């Protein structure tokens, strides 16, 4: 995934320059949710791919020696990459349209609502794919659940 496709803090800072309605109230909230959901999905996708590639032992019910070669894992990673690409493209499009004065707060709110289930699916798939060991505190993956729930209450 190209680095420009992942929303970054500089994207959020730049969004404040768009002026009203993007720098306060409902517009800022919706735009922030879109960017934060897309960023979370991208990070979860990258983490899932890295964690899967790092697993060298044969999975208990796997068909290959390495998890990264297992067709089931590859399918999950492909689905994750697709979610990430869609979320990043949607966020990039909204930022571009907001900068050009062509996006509305309603557009951003609708997009934020649409990205929320993609983010839930991304986080759920990460834990399902990596299995029980992914819940160990030492891996720090619980932070994804925390961020997801924080987005849900915003």
Nearest partner of 33 among 48, 12, 58, judged by Cα: 12
Rounded distance between C-alpha atoms, residue 64 and residue 56, angstroms: 10
* pTM flag (> 0.85): no
pLDDT band of residue 123 (cuts 50, 70, 90) is: very high
Report whether pLDDT(25) > 70.
yes
- Report the pLDDT averaged over residues 13-41: 89
Question: Is 35 in a helix, a strand, or coil?
Answer: helix
Report whether pLDDT(7) > 50.
no
Rounded distance between C-alpha atoms, residue 90 and residue 41, angstroms: 12
Report whether pLDDT(136) > 60.
yes
Q: What tens digit of pLDDT does each residue of 37-81 get?
A: 999 999 999 998 888 777 765 556 667 777 677 787 788 889 999
């Amino acid at each position: 995934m190209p680095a420009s496709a992942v929303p970054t803090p500089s994207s959020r800072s730049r969004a404040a320059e768009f002026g009203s309605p993007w720098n306060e109230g409902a517009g800022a909230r919706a735009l922030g949710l879109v960017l934060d959901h897309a960023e979370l999905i991208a990070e979860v996708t990258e983490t899932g791919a890295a964690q899967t590639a790092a697993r060298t032992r044969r999975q208990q019910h796997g068909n290959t020696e390495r998890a990264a070669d297992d067709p089931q894992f590859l399918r999950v990673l492909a689905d994750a990459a697709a979610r990430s690409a869609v979320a990043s493209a949607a966020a990039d499009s909204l930022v571009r349209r907001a900068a050009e004065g062509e996006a509305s707060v309603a557009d951003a709110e609708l997009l934020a609502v649409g990205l929320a289930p993609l983010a839930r699916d991304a986080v759920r798939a990460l834990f399902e794919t990596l299995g029980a060991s992914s819940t160990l505190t030492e891996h720090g993956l619980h932070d994804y659940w925390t961020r997801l729930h924080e987005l849900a209450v915003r």
